[in-house]
Structure 1
Amino acid sequence: MADDCFGHPRLAALYDPLDPDRSDLDAYLQMAETLEARRVLDIGCGTGVFALLLADRGIEVVGIDPAQASVDVARSKPGSERVHWICGDAAALPPLHVDLATMTANVAQAIADPETWQKTLRAAYEALRSGGHLVFETRDPAGRVWEEWTRENSYRVTDIPGLGSVESWVQLIDVSWPLVAFRWTYAFAADGQVLTSDSTLRFRERDEIDADLVARGYVVEEVRDAPDRPGGEFVFLARRP
């Protein structure tokens, strides 16, 4: 089930305005270009930002996400007809033959259940053509980034056209290694409504991810640094032989 920040219609509408800087996607666009990908599967496509950037470049894109509200936002955007949107998890994928599969931002870590993680890796493998690549990022646990997830560090007020002023902040709920749980709170000035969304991320060690990929038949070609979070993330580039 999708977290409320993605699955609740009012919160899904906030996602892009609260996170307008998506320069983190530049590295993925560059990899798609370098790999000469013409068909891409965007797993955990959310509100469709990356899928639509790819489509703008003439790439055939399938975007899949379990949150109906987020997919609805994606479908409402200009140019969305160029993307094939699917609401569901990786098990809902039709037969595909893509050059590249991606999981941007927190997608890989948000798949916290080990069985679902293995199913996702398998589904991505089956969707790739021979020689196709899977690319995703995950935070390095050594960075202990969750220690910064406090109201003091995250509180802000954002004026959003058509929605009004929205207060938002995050607070750590629990660390039960390797799971880290946190809660986002959103307060709407327009009507006083306060909504919360609880999320859990799984922090995987690099060796663990290597082993998972190899077990699913991938060849791990490279583990890169993330340009937007230097020293804080692993970016995996794995190939289906």
Structure 2
Amino acid sequence: MAIMTAHVAQAITDDGDWSRTLADIQRALVPGGGLVFDSRDPVARAWERWTPANTRGVHSLPDGSMVESWVESATEFDGLVTLTERRLCNGSAEETEISVLAFRTEEQLRQTLDRAGFAVDRIHGGWAGEDVGSGQGELIVIAHKPA
């Protein structure tokens, strides 16, 4: 069984790298072995809610330090979204972390899995088995390497 959690599939932004990742996993699995991963459904357009107004928060660390954090995003092209995370610790200099996420559609995921030799068992739209498009904004993929 291969499991990719925390939307890590979206951090593989290059299509060639994504194809190689799936091919490597497929080669490593025994016949009948499973692949499960989560991705965000681009139809839900989650990045539009990743704004400072919606994500700003202040957190207390165990040492008493206060961290203010927020997120902002910008759409790029071909399903890519740039996510900028900002943090201020005790009002000091701002730390910034920038990442790019790939938002692949359900159809794109099915096609790339098929090309890599996987059989898709199910794709759910949420963690409780909801249908895709149910408003949960998830794509929970369950596939296997055919016997």
Could you state the TM-score of these two structures normalised by the residue count of structure 2? 0.88
2:138 is matched with which residue?
Answer: 233
Q: Distance in 2 between matches of 1:132 and 1:116?
A: 21
- 1:185 paired with 2:86, answer yes
> What's the secondary structure of 1:227's corresponding residue?
coil
2:47 is matched with which residue?
Answer: 146
Shift of 1:163: 6.6
Shift of 1:230: 5.2
Contact 2:44 2:135 in 1 (8 A): no
Q: Distance in 2 between matches of 1:173 and 1:183?
A: 8
Where relative contact order (Cα < 8 A, 6+ residues apart) is larger, the structure is 2
Identity score, percent: 35
1:128 is matched with which residue?
Answer: 29
Q: Distance in 2 between matches of 1:230 and 1:172?
A: 20
Shift of 1:173: 3.1
> What's the secondary structure of 2:32's corresponding residue?
strand
> What's the secondary structure of 1:130's corresponding residue?
coil
1:169 is matched with which residue?
Answer: 70
Aligned alpha-carbon RMSD (Å): 1.8
1:37-56 to 2 correspondence within 5 Å? Answer: none
Report the residue type matching 1:187 in the other structure.
Answer: L
Q: Distance in 1 between matches of 2:28 and 2:93?
A: 42
1:224 is matched with which residue?
Answer: 124
2:14 is matched with which residue?
Answer: 113
2:100 is matched with which residue?
Answer: 200
Q: Distance in 2 between matches of 1:181 and 1:163?
A: 31
Q: Distance in 1 between matches of 2:58 and 2:136?
A: 29
Q: Which has the higher helix share?
A: 1
Cα deviation code 1:55-102 (max 9, x no counterpart): xxxxxxxxxxxxxxxxxxxxxxxxxxxxxxxxxxxxxxxxxxxxx101
Shift of 1:174: 3.6
1:75-90 to 2 correspondence within 5 Å? Answer: none
Give aligned pairs, total. 141
* Structure 2 unaligned spans of 5+: 129-133
> What's the secondary structure of 1:147's corresponding residue?
helix
> What's the secondary structure of 2:33's corresponding residue?
strand
Q: Distance in 1 between matches of 2:38 and 2:113?
A: 13
Going from structure 1 to structure 2, the CA distance change for 1:157 and 1:227 (only over 3 Å counts) comes to same
* Structure 1 unaligned spans of 5+: 1-99
- 1:209 paired with 2:114, answer no
Q: Distance in 2 between matches of 1:238 and 1:119?
A: 17
Q: Distance in 2 between matches of 1:102 and 1:236?
A: 10
